[in-house]
Chains A and B, each alone.
Chain A
Amino acid sequence: MKLAYWMYAGPAHIGTLRIASSFKNVHAIMHAPLGDDYFNVMRSMLERERNYTPVTTSVVDRNVLARGSQEKVVDNIIRKDQEEKPDLIVLTPTCTSSILQEDLQNFVERAQIDSKGDVMLADVNHYRANELQAADRTLHQIVEFYLKKARKKGELPEGKTEKPSVNIWGMTTLGFHNNHDCTELKRLMADLGIEVNEVIPEGASVHNLKNLPRAWFNLVPYREVGVMAAKYLQAEFAMPYIDITPMGIVETARCIRMIQKVLNEQGANVNYEDYIDNQTRFVSQAAWFSRSIDCQNLTGKKAVVFGDNTHAAALTKILAREMGIKVVLAGTYCKYDAEWFREQVGEYCDEILISEDNGEIGDAIARLEPSAIFGTQMERHVGKRLNIPCGVIAAPIHIQNFPVGYRPFVGYEGANQVVDLVYNSFTLGMEDHLLEIFGGHDTKEVIHKGISAESDLNWAKDAKAELNKVPGFVRGKVKRNTEKFARERGLSEITLEVMYAAKESVGA
């Protein structure tokens, strides 16, 4: 048992659901108790999704506990097959089904007999994998399933596309800025004259998976999701994959050079050097920014970076290499993939922290007193408590991290966005300190509205106590409205009764 207040990565089934609900016309059925379908709430809330989340539950209740699921799961799969006519139904185990040890594979096989669509059991163990590992695994599983199926039916298309083409991996629902990244990568590919063969899994149809091998190479921008599938395609179809995250000017250039190499090996004869040079020096603002006086002022400032592998590693490199900021600590919660992280950031930071315990990170931040933090929502709150500004760079995230405006993190526009994020975090911190030195804003006193804050009215003790229970940000309004109410009625004392009466009449 572990005492836990907070977790960075969710349980395994969340990963599976993120993959399943990213595909078009794929439905997931969770084998879970009532209330475990909060994934639907997260998706509907955070992504402001307009469509019903294609996830339902085959409810595990007392009866299931006593007698087993029996026909229930099979019936639910067949029902969903008829109602929604999905191409694929993914039966998703949860922590509950992990311990019940029912033969879910058997249910899937039985349901498949009567279903028009395909049925599959997500092969993830709740106690062995977290959200990210499960997502990677499920994506691999679906890809493998459809490629094997196509091969068996002899439907695998022959050869490559005429022009150089790419599959872009790892774009999922609830992924950090994934939709913007996806647009930016497509734009980058268009600039490079590369056709996008498939984007997987967001918005993809399972029918198109058989076309995957037609691409010249696979691009896996995120470390967490897509690597397994890319390795599978490499082994089965000898497709090269590129797993350099194009985040930051230097890494974007490195990624493009790798693409050039991979394409030229297949006879494309492309040269992207001029493009990289033009983008770096003149189109993107990030390189110029790092030479500008603003950025000079950031030299040697201390920062702490924490997040998932992809973003924490990329940010660490950007801060240290492209902005001259001193990263005193870089950390990740992807414990299962810690070696990769150490390798990536080893030379760019003073200290590395691999931990899933938010307390440990909070303590480290308090000890190091950086000028800015780049982390998850949790670090943002640590920053609030310690009065250190924080830029959010990785999940777990809140609704404000699903911006409506265009905010990629990858590519050249992504580099611009990161510059703004970093710079804004630091200046805010500077401004804060200056204010402190010069005694704060001089307009701190609230200018009151009409009725004076100190009044002639007498507040009874109990009413005053009640007023103090009203949340601070509306207390002034309640007080003013109540007093206005009392004054209009010529009351000199405000009792609890008067307070309620005021609320009842004017909604004070």
Chain B
Amino acid sequence: MTVAEQPEALTFECETGNYHTFCPISCVAWLYQKIEDSFFLVIGTKTCGYFLQNAMGVMIFAEPRYAMAELEEGDISAQLNDYEELKRLCLQIKRDRNPSVIVWIGTCTTEIIKMDLEGLAPKLEGEIGIPIVVARANGLDYAFTQGEDTVLAAMAARCPNKMIESEKDERNAIQKLLNFGQKKEETDQAESVFVDHPPLVLFGSLPDPVVTNLTLELKKQGIQVSGWLPAKRYTELPILEEGYYVSGVNPFLSRTASALMRRRKCKLIGAPFPIGPDGTRAWIEKICSVFGIEPKGLDEREAQIWQNLEDYLQLIRGKSVFFMGDNLLEISLARFLIRCGMTCPEIGIPYMDKRYQKAELDLLEKTCHDMGVSVPRIIEKPDNYNQLQRIHEIKPDLVITGMAHANPLEARGINTKWSVEFTFAQIHGFTNARDILELVTRPLRRNNNLKDLGWDKLVAEEAQV
């Protein structure tokens, strides 16, 4: 009986893993755009190719820098030589696109037939003179956004160790160009706004405007960001030396984090992720505390943001949200939405790294207590069928789910938001908090517009036998 007085702790359950998510090879769709001089070659079958062309919609038409190396029966039965085949295709890519790096995405098929991509790459790299990075982003092991994690973990190994003097000028060349016209003193002066702290490198692929935004937030605290993994170009990957500090901006980067810690001997700042004003503030505070900096003006900044969100908050306060789980952003988003005044009965998530997400989980628990709502059940590897039963039972106000279930749920009168949009929208930092709520409230605003029409259930209920 005394237990009841203890604040509830988070509970973790695991279901069957029978859920819908995107294949991790989908990461090529945003990574090829982020890393401008890259070429992504997905070594797989028609199944993989069809997924990319359908899931990525119109992007395929913009002459993408990605392609399939489509395996044929001869490749599977080893009648063809993998090395020769890959060499032929990579030379073709070099001739047509001349990229600075070719990223091979290993798939389920290359795993099953045990194609030694990691072994073939260094040899071929030497022969054709283009770096080849191997990431095994397959559906046997990973879900959706974890694809980016496998690519960045592989890229982490390619970050230069120490700057070579001759290269320094070359690297600065672009910087110089950008500063063209600015006096030297000005640039020097700009540097002095930073506090003296060990180098900090952030990891996670974000659109450039968000990178600028987060970098600026840290600059306000006197923290200098020495580099981002990934950078805009492969040739601009950040320097990583032993003892550098690193921090992740997304919840699904646990392999990258361990690669940086174990292989590059960097120190990881484990913080909540800068999603929502509460998350952004906690993220900045944690980084400041590691560097012994007293954060300035965060209180007012956060309060100001919340105030500006008030119109949206009014729409969702007291409503419930159910995460079916498919992109690993779920914990951070749920934490933010609970702070917004929502309740959350269930957070489904494909994979839960309790160590990498520790600070985020702690913040979630704290947020629930602060807001006086019960903690969500966290369901790892959920079972969509069971989840649908639970959804129909508890009738949440909003279900965040994949496209496979969105229309059927809407037809049954349950509001949904397509989860993939959170991966592609700009959701990080103080500035983008409004964008998250713009997405979350859209179905509710739609309802307000259509409310008196009386046709919210649009499916013929079959007779229950």
Residues of A near any B CB (own CB < 8 A): 1-7, 10-11, 13-14, 32-38, 40-42, 44-45, 48-53, 56-57, 59-62, 65, 76, 83, 94-96, 99-100, 126-128, 130, 378, 381, 396, 398, 462, 466, 469-470, 496-497, 500, 503-505, 507
Say whether B69 faces chain A, with CB atoms less than 8 Å apart.
yes
Name which residue of chain A comes closest to B19, CB basis.
A34
Across the interface, do B80 and A1 meet the contact criterion of CB distance under 8 Å?
A: yes
Residue of A nearest to B80 (CB): A1
Q: Is the CB of B112 within 8 A of A65?
A: yes
- Are B54's CB and A42's CB within 8 A? yes
**Can you name 7 extra interface pairs (CB under 8 A) apart from A44-B406, A56-B385, A95-B47?**
A3-B67, A3-B93, A35-B24, A40-B20, A44-B408, A45-B403, A500-B213
Query: Which of these binds chain A: B140-148, B164-172, B444-452?
Result: B140-148
Task: Report the bound CA distance from A65 to B138 in whole Å.
Answer: 13
Question: In the complex, which residues of chain A have a beta carbon less than 8 angstroms from the beta carbon of B408?
Answer: 44, 49-53
Instruction: Indicate if the CB atoms of A34 and B109 lie closer than 8 Å.
Output: no
Inter-chain contacts of A34 with B (CB < 8 A): 17, 21, 23, 139-140, 142-143
Residue of A nearest to B216 (CB): A496
Q: Are B404 and A1 in contact (CB under 8 A)?
A: no
CB <8 Å contact, B141 and A1:
no
Report the Cα distance A381→B54, complex, angstroms.
15
Alpha-carbon distance A503/B210, docked complex (angstroms): 13
Evaluate contact between A96 and B49: CB separation under 8 angstroms: no
From A10, A14, A41, A99, B109 is in contact (CB under 8 Å) with: A99
**Contact at B112–A96, with CB atoms within 8 Å?**
yes
| Chain A residues within an 8 Å CB radius of B68 | 2-5
Within 386-441 of B, Cβ neighbours of A (below 8 Å) are at: 388, 402-408, 411, 430-431, 433-434, 438
Is A14 in contact with B89, judged by CB distance below 8 angstroms? no
- 12 contacts across the A-B interface (CB closer than 8 A): A1-B70, A3-B93, A34-B23, A35-B24, A35-B143, A44-B404, A52-B408, A61-B17, A99-B76, A398-B58, A496-B212, A504-B431
**Residue in chain B with minimal CB distance to A100:** B112
List B contacts of A51 (CB < 8 A): 408, 411, 459
* Least CB distance, B12 to chain A, in whole angstroms: 19
Tell me, yes or no, whether B72 is within 8 Å of chain A by CB: yes
B71 surroundings in chain A (CB, below 8 A): 1
B276: min CB distance to chain A, Å = 13
> Does any Cβ of A come within 8 Å of B233's Cβ?
no
Contacts from B to A (Cβ < 8 Å): 17-18, 20-24, 43, 45-47, 49-51, 53-55, 57-58, 60-61, 64, 67-73, 75-76, 80, 85-86, 88-89, 92-93, 108-109, 111-113, 138-144, 208-209, 212-213, 216, 304-305, 308, 385, 388, 402-408, 411, 430-431, 433-434, 438, 458-459
Complex Cα gap A505–B431 (Å): 9
The interface residues of chain B lying within 8 Å CB-to-CB of A53 are 404, 408
Contacts of A466 in B (CB 8 A): 209, 212
Using Cβ atoms and an 8 Å threshold, which residues of chain B touch A56?
Answer: 18, 385
- Collect the chain A residues with CB atoms within 8 Å of residue B18's CB: 56-57, 59, 76
Q: Is A38 a contact partner of B60 (Cβ separation < 8 A)? A: no
Cβ–Cβ contact A7 & B385, under 8 A: no
Are B139 and A35 touching (Cβ within 8 A)? yes
Closest A residue, CB atoms, query B311: A507
- Report the bound CA distance from A2 to B404 in whole Å: 31
The 9 nearest A-B residue pairs measured at CB: A35-B23, A33-B139, A40-B404, A50-B411, A11-B46, A1-B85, A95-B45, A35-B139, A381-B61
Q: Which residues of A contact B54 (CB under 8 A)?
A: 38, 41-42
Q: Is the CB of B17 within 8 A of A59?
A: yes
Instruction: Please give me the residue from chain A that is nearest to B82 by CB atom.
Output: A1
Contacts of A61 in B (CB 8 A): 17, 140-141
Q: Tell me, in angstroms, the Cα distance from A10 to B71 when the chains sit together.
A: 14
List, in ascending order, chain A residues with CB within 8 A of B138's CB. Answer: 33
Q: How far is the CB of A343 from chain B (nearest CB, A)?
A: 28
Neighbouring B residues of A57 by C-beta, 8 Å: 18
Smallest Cβ distance from B327 to chain A, in angstroms? Answer: 12
**Inside 8 A of A10's CB, which chain B residues have their CB?**
46, 50
Which residues of B are found within 8 Å of A128, using beta-carbon distances?
Answer: 73
Across the interface, do B108 and A33 meet the contact criterion of CB distance under 8 Å? yes
Bound CA–CA A378/B139 (angstroms): 28
On chain B, the residues within 8 Å of A3 by CB distance are 67-70, 89, 92-93
Decide yes or no: A37 and B60 within 8 Å by CB, A1-B69, A100-B112 being known contacts. no
Distance of A505 Cα from B216 Cα, bound (Å): 18
A7-B50, A33-B108, A466-B209 known; A507-B434 Cβ under 8 A: yes
In the complex, A170 Cα to B70 Cα: how many Å? Answer: 29
Of B88, B108, B112, B388, chain A has the most CB atoms within 10 Å of the CB of B108
Q: A residues within 8 A CB of B70? A: 1-4
The distance in angstroms between the C-alpha atoms of A44 and B411, with both chains bound, is: 11
Distance A303 CA – B291 CA, assembled complex (angstroms): 68
**A5 nearest CB neighbor, chain B only:** B67
Alpha-carbon separation in the docked complex, A13 to B45 (Å)? 12
Q: From known contacts A33-B108, A34-B23, A35-B23, infer whether A41 and B69 are also in contact, taking CB-CB under 8 Å.
A: no
- With A and B bound together, what is the CA distance between A507 and B58 in angstroms? 27
Nearest chain A CB to B148 CB, angstrom units = 14
Alpha-carbon distance A35/B408, docked complex (angstroms): 19
Pick the contact of A41 from B47, B72, B404, B458 — CB < 8 Å? B404
Most-contacted residue by chain A among B46, B141, B216, B407 (CB, 10 A):
B46
A1/B212 in contact, CB under 8 A: no
Partner of A6, one of B51, B60, B86, B139: B60
Q: Which residues of B contact A100 (CB under 8 A)?
A: 112
B47 touches A94 (CB 8 A): yes
Instruction: Write out the residue numbers on chain A whose beta carbons fall within 8 Å of the beta carbon of B89.
Output: 1, 3
Which residues on the A side are within 8 Å of B93 (C-beta)? 3
Closest to A128 in B: B73
Query: CA separation between A82 and B459, bound complex, in Å?
Result: 23
B62's nearest neighbour on chain A, judged by CB, is A381
Closest Cβ of chain B: how far from A60's Cβ, in Å?
7
Given that A11-B50, A35-B22, A51-B411 are known contacts, is A60 also in contact with B140, CB under 8 Å in the complex? yes
Cα of A52 to Cα of B324 in the assembled complex, Å: 15
Q: How far is the CA of A36 from the CA of B139 in the complex (A)?
A: 8
Q: Which chain B residues border A4 with CB–CB below 8 Å? A: 49, 67-68, 70
Cα separation A100 to B112 with both chains bound (whole Å): 7
Give the complex CA separation of A94 and B385 in angstroms.
22
Q: What's the Cα separation between A497 and B217 when bound, in Å? A: 10
B212: chain A residues within 8 A (beta carbon): 462, 466, 496
A503/B23 in contact, CB under 8 A: no
Contact (Cβ within 8 A) B385 A49 = no
A2 to B88, CA, bound (A): 10
Please report the C-alpha to C-alpha distance between residue A71 and residue B80 in the assembled complex, in whole angstroms: 35
B141 / chain A contacts, CB cutoff of 8 Å = 61-62
Chain A neighbourhood of B75, CB < 8 A? 1
Q: Please tell me which one of the listed residues B69, B434, B459 contacts residue A504 in the complex, with CB atoms under 8 A apart.
A: B434
Distance in Å from the Cβ of B336 to the closest Cβ of chain A? 16
Chain A proximity of B448: nearest CB distance (Å): 18
Alpha-carbon distance between A130 and B50 when the two chains are bound, in angstroms:
11
Chain A min CB distance to B124 (Å): 13
Decide if A35 touches B144 in the complex (CB within 8 Å).
yes
A504 cross-chain contacts in B, Cβ below 8 A: 304-305, 308, 430-431, 433-434
Contact A7:B404 (CB < 8 A) given known A1-B86, A38-B22, A500-B431: no
* Closest A residue, CB atoms, query B460: A50
List B contacts of A7 (CB < 8 A): 46, 49-50, 53
B302 to chain A, nearest CB (A): 11
The answer for the CA separation of A462 and B211 in the assembled complex, in Å, is 13
- Report the minimum CB–CB distance from B101 to chain A (whole Å): 17
